[in-house]
A and B are shown apart, each in its own frame.
Chain A
């Protein structure tokens, strides 16, 4: 019919245009372009024709031409919502994300309830990393079309990425209720439940996903982690092999034969690392076992670990991933070794120590840190920010306050890269040893770190490579774990079958580190006091602080409080913990609560510290340490610490040391019946020292604003 019109009137624009549309519908895009272009020759301002020509070009993949058409259409008709929408889609396909977003926004101003535009805008936001806006926009899309399972799924994924797991779960619940099968949404439900710490339900969700799509690799991988978390290593490690079919873990295309774990003497095996640095450090423990089965092993690992692992002597050759390789016949992933070796909970290869620092560097650091007094605790708080759940597993340096404030603890920062900027305000305040910018540069990554760790009493770390390194070096390490921790740390246990020197401190509430570090702080207080006591010289000459220097590595014995000192305290543990928690003495039965001045508190603390360094008998020492711990807690909770306060406290301690020595000398004179000039001098020094002591206490009271003042009165 259109052709009939054109025969009558060859320049009939509508007929040309409509013929173009018919051609397009019949799948003849070239013809469509011709007709519509003709129409436009006759009427260049025909907005719909430009728009439809754009659609044709877009369909043929001529994105630039399509974009020009849509732009022309929108400039001719500024309220042309569909044209803006398709301009947005085209710009997005062209990778011009910012412009696409602007085009969608324009569309939505013209037609606010345009569900597809909302959905595409939200996806564009997501690609831009503007997750909050993406979530809000997905919600709008859902408001326009509540039955769209896809929109609920997308909302769920966005909320999950934002760490808003409860809301994400709600969205994903709707997605799976609206559409079936929807394996991806079940899988996403699983990871969300897992992040919420609802592990059994997570596993059930993966099972559901797999029931709907048995080939969904992501769900297999997630189920593997769930099984491993439960300690079901037999099924877990086998299932973990599915990761190679997941995008992020795709196996590199390697020549050679995949190794099945069998004995192949005389052949060369390439073992390659994957995933994080910690994974590599954890699984290189298998290398000695591998070497018993194959002739020669080449390890290809992350460049950052090459120097350390080369020095370890664990295998014949270590090379960086991506570098040229010598010839080999067999290959395997390092993370497949638990599977290939049939690892179960009962046979995890867990030597106390399977890496060591470079001996020369260790000696250098031993010397450099020689003067560092107290319990040396290495700290690392920030993992690789690129990791998906980093926000959950890393903590802030300032979360470590309960650890940093334990008297007798000296922190050493092992943090590098992201997170080290947090040292700025706190390094001086907490007297943290920062190892400087040259750290790990000369000898290579981790070389200094390993050497320093060997000089420490303890490492406290988030779930990151440093924790693995310390444990692999056999140094005591306390790992702060998120509510929903990585599969390898399993569930409900505070130790790891993989690392004998490791202790796990789990969050007891999601995203809440307080009680994790409160518990560490309480343990550390005991350790620091023990170290102080253990290192005290037999004769009372050196100050306890200096004495504390001697013994390094006394804690090698699993960071435990010696049983002898622990026993008497254990009976009172409940009451003591309450008292500590209350800061100024809990309402234990029989306890007397009374306000004391700051000077009195610091005086008493200094005396107990002196006693703890000199008393050797376990039961008596335990009594001293118990009181000291309560008073330390009270100090921490009640006084604003400052440099001048610390100086006054040190002076007070010195005076009390002197008084102690005078007292001992006086008693020695008494025993020998010598009451001559030396005795008189000693006796006189008592009141001189006591006057000085009273003055220091007064200054402390002034500084702390104590209401109580100690007054002295002596007859003239």
Chain B
């Protein structure tokens, strides 16, 4: 294997996952208080995927994400302040308060957009990869998408084009096993997403998406491969969201409490935390300090968002038409 990432990367990955988790918890709370307008899909339970993949990306690499994109935004470098303010609809948000939960956009850190539509990230990342290839700039594009996207036409088109043009793209399927409330096993003729990679002429690798070190190791190979011009790869990260599809939705008509609890026991943060302690990489005190910092960052982001101004109503029509 590549050298065990635990000693060198463990803390960094833990910190990224923590920052996402604490932010999401703030957002859950704020949603119940009516501070968030529009839908709010949290990433709780899936943090290992964003953390493990984005750890290999530079600021110049780009990420295209889904309706469940808060984690990708934070892992790619959007600040907690800008994220929370965006969901609060404030002008200090990363999309100036115009996007909300599903339209996060921060090109300055390579977050080229989250989307409420299922599947476009696949084609967008292929397009970005095509551009990088023409410009010969060594950059890499990543598409995050869920299991609900892999039976879309976009998946077929995007993977095929990326393979024939050998584009520097990493396709990351976060298989959290439910497309909203439809089980993947019900909707898929082939229950393995990873196995489809081969059909398109690219490596397809399945990893435990709750094991951030496993995600990290697989992504390391895939990103290096893309950067070397050897072409795209498909990563299937088997994971689980432990919150409902969106805040405010019911949860147990399509899955059981037992199932949710069993996955909570495999929480990616808990798994890594135990390994950091067992491996002697960090002490309880060090981790507690990190946890405190992450909680404070999220709380501070919320205060910042609440105190931020709303967009000027007079600007409602700006960005609608291109300026001549």
Q: List the interface of chain A (C-beta within 8 A of B).
A: 396-402, 405, 425-426, 429-430, 511, 514, 581-584, 595, 637-644, 703-705, 707
Assuming the contacts A644-B2, A705-B194, A705-B218, asked whether A639 and B229 have C-beta atoms less than 8 A apart, the reply is no
Contact call A704/B205, Cβ cutoff below 8 A: yes
Q: How large is the interface on B (under 10, 10 to 19, 20 to 34, 35 or more residues)?
A: 20 to 34
**Chain B binding surface, main DSSP class:** mixed
CA–CA, A637 to B195, complex, Å? 12
CA–CA, A120 to B126, complex, Å? 40
Q: Which of B138, B229, B230 has the most CB atoms of chain A within a 10 A radius of its CB?
A: B229
Contacts of A638 in B (CB 8 A): 197-198, 202-204
Contact call A583/B198, Cβ cutoff below 8 A: yes
Contact call B207/A705, Cβ cutoff below 8 A: yes
CA–CA, A506 to B48, complex, Å? 45
Contacts of B274 in A (CB 8 A): none
User: Which stretch, B85-93, B220-228, B253-261, B292-300, touches the partner chain A?
Assistant: B220-228
Contact call B134/A398, Cβ cutoff below 8 A: no
Contacts of B228 in A (CB 8 A): 398, 401, 425-426, 429-430
Interface presence of B1 (CB below 8 A): yes
Contacts of A430 in B (CB 8 A): 228
Interface presence of B164 (CB below 8 A): yes
Interface presence of B272 (CB below 8 A): no
Contact call A514/B165, Cβ cutoff below 8 A: yes
Interface presence of B319 (CB below 8 A): no
Contact of B229 among A398, A643, A705, A707 (CB under 8 A): A398
Contact call A640/B221, Cβ cutoff below 8 A: yes
Assuming the contacts A396-B136, A705-B218, asked whether A401 and B198 have C-beta atoms less than 8 A apart, the reply is no
CA–CA, A707 to B206, complex, Å? 9
Contacts of A401 in B (CB 8 A): 166, 228-231
Nearest-neighbour CB distance to chain B for A710, whole angstroms, equals 17
Contacts of A637 in B (CB 8 A): 198, 201-203
Show 18 residue pairs from A and B whose CB-CB distance is below 8 angstroms, ordered by the A residue: A398-B229, A401-B230, A405-B230, A426-B228, A429-B224, A430-B228, A514-B165, A514-B166, A582-B201, A637-B198, A637-B203, A638-B204, A640-B218, A640-B222, A641-B225, A705-B205, A705-B207, A707-B192
Nearest-neighbour CB distance to chain A for B36, whole angstroms, equals 38
Contacts of B202 in A (CB 8 A): 637-638
CA–CA, A401 to B221, complex, Å? 15
**Which B residues, 222 to 243, have Cβ-Cβ distances below 8 Å to chain A?**
222, 224-225, 227-231, 233
Assuming the contacts A398-B229, A637-B202, A642-B221, asked whether A707 and B195 have C-beta atoms less than 8 A apart, the reply is yes
CA–CA, A399 to B134, complex, Å? 11
Nearest-neighbour CB distance to chain A for B268, whole angstroms, equals 18
**Chain A binding surface, main DSSP class:** helix
Nearest-neighbour CB distance to chain B for A215, whole angstroms, equals 40
Contacts of A399 in B (CB 8 A): 229
CA–CA, A402 to B218, complex, Å? 22
Contacts of B197 in A (CB 8 A): 638
CA–CA, A125 to B152, complex, Å? 46
CA–CA, A426 to B198, complex, Å? 24
CA–CA, A178 to B134, complex, Å? 34
Contacts of B199 in A (CB 8 A): 584
Contact call A425/B225, Cβ cutoff below 8 A: no
CA–CA, A642 to B205, complex, Å? 13
Contacts of A595 in B (CB 8 A): 195, 198
Q: Across the two chains, which residue of chain B brings its CB closest to A583?
A: B201
Contacts of A429 in B (CB 8 A): 224, 228
CA–CA, A579 to B33, complex, Å? 59
Q: Across the two chains, which residue of chain A brings its CB closest to B135?
A: A396
Per-residue 0/1 for B211-225: is the Cβ within 8 Å of any A Cβ (1 yes, 0 no)? Answer: 000000010011011
Contact of B205 among A405, A514, A582, A640 (CB under 8 A): A640
Q: Across the two chains, which residue of chain A brings its CB closest to B205?
A: A705
Contact call B229/A703, Cβ cutoff below 8 A: no
CA–CA, A641 to B221, complex, Å? 7
CA–CA, A689 to B199, complex, Å? 34
**Which B residues, 73 to 118, have Cβ-Cβ distances below 8 Å to chain A?**
none
Contacts of B194 in A (CB 8 A): 705, 707
Contacts of A582 in B (CB 8 A): 201
Contact call B218/A643, Cβ cutoff below 8 A: no
Contacts of A514 in B (CB 8 A): 164-166
